[in-house]
Amino acid sequence: MAIPWLLALKVIPWGDVIEHAPSVLKAARKLMDRQSAEPAPSSATGVDLSKEALPSLGELKNRLIAAQVQLDRQAQMQAEMAQTLAELAEQNARLVSAVETLRVRTRVLLWAVAALVLAVVGMALR
């Protein structure tokens, strides 16, 4: 079961991931900033009411309230999704940083092991 994960980790182009992580984080922050700004009022669209009888004023008010509630819910969901995206981008940046640190440590460890092996071989040949 661990073999597919290892293969997947080897296939991932970590250099590209590390290279693009700051731009992903920057884009997520821009999205959060854009979401926190007030949305621009949209232009009213014309509704063709000639097909049906005109609804009463009370019914129009009820529809307007229902539409406003739905818009508020959608705006809240969009803000939550943008917040989640920003958090994921920050976590991704931290993960990439940790992976890069582990790669450097692994290289240092491999060089140290190679030096130790050479030292042991040198001592054995004496």
- Cα separation values, 78 from 16, 71, 88, 92, 106, Å: 29, 10, 15, 21, 41
Say what the pLDDT of residue 73 is: 92
Kindly report, residue by residue over 72-113, the tens digit of the pLDDT.
Answer: 999 998 888 888 888 888 888 888 888 888 989 999 999 999
* Residue 4 scores a pLDDT above 90: no
Kindly report, residue by residue over 27-54, the tens digit of the pLDDT.
Answer: 777 777 777 675 555 544 555 555 567 8
